[in-house]
């Protein structure tokens, strides 16, 4: 697991340090402050590979460094420092054997995945062994070739192969699909089905009610969760196969990096996606498994609210990135239960003044100014009559702001007969 990550002259701050919790790490903050950047750097620290472009130092000639600490199963964590080498745009690392973090899976927002397997990628002495497996969005479905070798058949072919062969992977896939299903309807595997005339293979389907729908035609949200379920099963079983060939014990530790899990998901699914991911990993691990370490970047108040019942300050943390004085700051240890998604929206984590439309917020601000005896500076809302009309248009009849406004304006007998 990743313990610490410290950046110097990298990104939008002269220095930035994150101390990662052992289980759930939620990364929140406005766009452009570096949430995905932190995940990219965490992947590099855990695997010594880049899942995307190499991180670049801040402009200028100051020395740029990345320090990190990875804890293995038994070995004490050893600090590692890398200084950017401008000659070849690289971050050199010590040649000694690195600490092994377990299986690392990076779920990217673009639909791609990266997998680092300790049986297939760790401490490479074989020049033909890849440093990691990186899948673009299309590779997830169609398979991946690396240096002339077929390393993965892809979701559709593997699914059919597992299903028709009644392989253990198919049983695992069904269990994981059940775990990550939306609350409204379970993801149920349907019979294989031929989709296109002239095509020589069947394709997997899902049962929607009594109808079989090809997974290739499923919605974007369903497809993303199908890809997640498939990749968990693929990475888990491929690791065990490789470990058996090597005569080694398979690894039970997992690190998950997840960029915006709410992408494409309905609110009902957003508030279950992370708890269901933990449940899915439990199903793969069985008894005796270790809780995964999860690093999750999110913009969703429903995702944060969904973790309130299970949040443990001893094992979990909220990392809030904010801009202060033109520099990005990481604040930790500030988790506070908010009770619902609306309260999360107006909390420091998401920073809205009100969980309303901009126009409704402006109307209420204008009304509050008038109630204080001040002049409203909101254009078009300088009089009580204009504010009242705006409130009528923008607020529902049962809105909790109405009593304050009606009492203040003495419009007690009704909206139409008042003096507003």
pLDDT tens per residue across span 86-134: 889 999 998 888 888 999 999 999 999 999 999 999 876 677 788 999 9
What percent of the chain clears pLDDT 90, i.e. is strictly above it? 74
Whole-number pLDDT of residue 45: 95
Grouping H, G, I as helix, E, B as strand and the rest as coil, residue 269 is helix
In this prediction, residue 148 carries a pLDDT of: 87
Please indicate whether residue 410 or residue 217 has the higher confidence score (pLDDT). Answer: 217
Please, what is the average pLDDT of the chain? 91
149-158, 190-199, 281-290, 402-411 — most confident range: 149-158
Confidence of residue 12 (pLDDT cuts 50, 70, 90): confident
Q: pLDDT of 177-193, one tens digit each? A: 999 998 888 999 999 99
Q: Any alpha helices (H) in 185-333, and if so which ranges?
A: 220-246, 267-270, 273-285, 301-306
Q: Which of 48, 72, 40, 69 lies closest to 121, judged by CA?
A: 48
Which of 188-197, 250-259, 270-279, 286-295 is the least confident region? Answer: 286-295
Q: Rounded to 5 degrees, what are φ and ψ at 255?
A: -120, 125
Give residue-wise pLDDT tens across range 224-239. Answer: 999 999 999 999 999 9
**pLDDT (0 to 100) of residue 150:** 93
Q: Which CATH number fits domain 2-148+253-345: 3.40.50.300, 3.40.640.10, 3.20.20.150, 3.20.20.70?
A: 3.40.50.300
State mean pLDDT over 45-54.
Answer: 93
Collect all residues with Cβ–Cβ distance below 8 Å to 226 and sequence separation of at least 6.
155, 177, 187, 206, 215, 218
Mean pLDDT of the region 193-216 = 89
What integer pLDDT is reported at residue 391 of this predicted model?
94
Got the DSSP string for 47-81?
A: HSS-SSSPP-BPSSSS--EEEEEE--SSSPP--EE
Distances (CA, A) of 111 to 50, 108, 249, 269, 274: 17, 6, 31, 17, 17
Sequence ranges of the chain with CATH classification 3.40.50.300: 2-148+253-345
Ranking 150-154, 176-180, 346-350, 373-377 by mean pLDDT, the lowest is 373-377
Report pLDDT for 197.
86
- When pLDDT is cut at 50, 70 and 90, the band that residue 419 belongs to is very low
Model pLDDT, residue 184: 82
Continuous segment of H or E residues that includes residue 415: none
Strand (E) or helix (H) holding 5 = strand 2-8
Q: How far apart are the first and last CA of the chain?
A: 61
pLDDT number for residue 387: 93
Q: 102 — phi, psi (to 5°)?
A: 105, -170
- For the cut 50, the answer to whether the pLDDT of residue 309 exceeds it is yes
pTM of the model: 0.91
The answer to whether the CB of 43 falls within 8 A of the CB of 53 is no
Q: How high is the pLDDT of residue 416?
A: 46
pLDDT at position 326 is 85
pLDDT of residue 124: 66
Are 393 and 359 a contacting pair, CB within 8 Å? no
């Amino acid at each position: 697991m990743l313990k610490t990550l410290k950046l110097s002259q990298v990104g939008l701050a002269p220095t930035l340090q994150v101390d990662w919790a052992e289980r759930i790490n939620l990364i929140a903050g406005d766009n452009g402050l570096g949430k995905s950047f932190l995940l990219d750097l965490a992947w590099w620290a855990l695997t010594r590979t880049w899942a995307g472009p190499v991180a670049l130092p801040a402009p200028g000639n100051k020395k740029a460094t990345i320090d990190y600490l990875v804890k293995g199963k038994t070995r004490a964590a050893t600090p590692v420092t890398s200084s950017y080498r401008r000659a070849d745009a690289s971050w050199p690392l010590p040649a000694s054997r690195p600490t092994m973090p377990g299986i690392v899976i990076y779920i990217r927002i673009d639909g791609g995945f990266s997998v680092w397997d300790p049986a297939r990628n760790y401490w490479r002495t074989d020049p033909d062994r890849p440093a990691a497996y990186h899948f673009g969005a299309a590779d997830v479905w169609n398979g991946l070739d690396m240096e002339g070798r077929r390393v993965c058949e892809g979701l559709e072919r593997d699914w059919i192969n597992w299903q028709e062969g009644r392989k253990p992977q198919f049983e695992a896939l069904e269990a994981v699909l059940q775990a990550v299903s939306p609350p409204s309807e379970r993801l149920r595997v349907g019979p294989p089905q031929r989709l296109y005339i002239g095509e020589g293979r069947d394709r997997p389907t899902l049962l929607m009610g009594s109808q079989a729908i090809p997974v290739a035609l499923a919605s974007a949200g369903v497809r993303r969760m199908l890809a997640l379920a498939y990749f968990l099963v693929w990475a888990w079983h491929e690791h065990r196969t490789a470990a058996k060939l090597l005569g080694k014990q398979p690894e039970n530790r997992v690190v998950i990096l997840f960029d915006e899990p709410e992408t494409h998901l309905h609110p009902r699914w957003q508030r279950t996606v992370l708890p269901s991911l933990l449940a899915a990993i439990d199903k793969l691990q069985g008894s005796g498994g270790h809780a995964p370490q999860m690093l999750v970047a999110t913009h969703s108040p429903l995702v944060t609210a969904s973790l309130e019942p299970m949040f443990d300050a001893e094992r979990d943390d909220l990392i809030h990135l904010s801009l202060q004085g033109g520099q990005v700051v990481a604040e930790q240890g500030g988790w506070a239960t908010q009770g619902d998604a609306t309260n999360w929206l107006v909390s420091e984590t998401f920073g809205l003044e009100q969980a309303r439309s901009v126009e409704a917020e402006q109307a209420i601000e204008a009304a509050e100014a008038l109630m204080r005896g001040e002049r409203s500076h909101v254009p078009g809302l300088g009089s009580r009559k204009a504010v009242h009309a705006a409130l009528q248009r923008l607020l529902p009849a049962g809105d909790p702001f109405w009593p304050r406004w009606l009492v203040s304006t003495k419009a007690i007998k009704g909206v139409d007969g008042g003096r507003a």
